Amino acid sequence: MPVKPEFKVTLLGAGGVGKSALTLRIISGVFTPTYNPTIEDYYRHDTNIDGVGPCIVEILDTAGTEQFASMRQLYISNGQAFALVYAVDDRASFEEVKEIYQHITESKSPQNISVVLIGNKCDLDDRREVETWEGQEAAKEMCNSQFLETSAKEGTHVFKFFETLVMCLDGRIRSKSKDKSLKNGRRRDGRERSRSQPDLRTYSLSGHDYYDHSLPSAEAIPGHTTKGRKCAIM
């Protein structure tokens, strides 16, 4: 039976900004108002995303409290796509996601990561400390990353940010796969010509010969999956 493509998504941000609430909204559609500091929660979410299709998304909801900040480097090293979450009513959390992004780019090239900047708790507009335009500008500085304001409480843009992040990651993976296929095709075609044909560049008016080496990109194939699980919960 074909296997569904799998993606890894990591939520990073300060403690109390709503990472766990956003995750639970995605997984169960339920808002949990109580706050319990997280060490690490892990989920496998079987879903269907427009433009991607049936897939499994591994969601890592990470520790945000200061005493667990040392674990972030491990999250960053193992991550493929990152949701950087701050709370619009907490400017310190906004500054912290900027620092987290810097840590990410110290370990990974911006061209090799997928990032969505999330301004959570947009329902608390009367307590807002970070304006929408500030989030938009910060996202532009993060290699033109996507930006959304969300509300885990009201469900505003929660699934949209999740789908956006997965679609960005899927697009990057497909692009890499296509580039690799094209390179392999050129090498393979070049070896075959060298064995069976003379060097045609001798007879080319421009000094170059042109061949169509394009190959189809690798496609993710849908199939069987397993139920999600959660571990290491506090």
At 208 the pLDDT is 42
36-40, 70-74, 88-92: lowest mean pLDDT where? 36-40
d(CA 75, CA 89): 26
If you average pLDDT over residues 202-222, what whole number do you get?
Answer: 39
Residue 196 lies in a domain: no
Residue 211 lies in a domain: no
Is pLDDT of 177 > 80? no
Residue 183 lies in a domain: no
Half-sphere exposure for 192 (CA within 13 Å, toward CB): 8
Residue 127 lies in a domain: yes
For the chain, the domain total comes to 1
Rg over alpha carbons for the chain, rounded to the nearest Å, is 22
Residue 98 lies in a domain: yes
Residue type for position 11? L
At 1 the pLDDT is 63
Residue 87 lies in a domain: yes
At 211 the pLDDT is 38
35-44, 172-181, 195-204: lowest mean pLDDT where? 195-204
Residue 204 lies in a domain: no
pTM listed for this prediction? 0.73
Q: For the purposes of burial, counting CB atoms within 10 Å of the CB of 116, is it exposed (0-12), middle (13-18) or buried (19 or more)?
A: buried
Query: CA of 181: how far to CAs of 11, 114, 140, 174, in Å?
Result: 31, 22, 31, 10
Name 12's bridge partners.
Answer: 84
Which two structure tokens, joined as six digits, stand for 151?
Answer: 């509300």
Residue 134 lies in a domain: yes
- Apex CA 44: angle with CA 21 and CA 173, to 5°? 105
101-105, 123-127, 209-213: lowest mean pLDDT where? 209-213
For 85-124, the pLDDT digits (tens) are 999 999 999 999 999 999 999 988 888 889 999 999 999 9
CATH of the domain at 70: 3.40.50.300
Contact 46, 227 (CB under 8 A): yes
Is pLDDT of 44 > 80? yes
Which residue segment(s) compose the domain that 38 sits in? 6-171
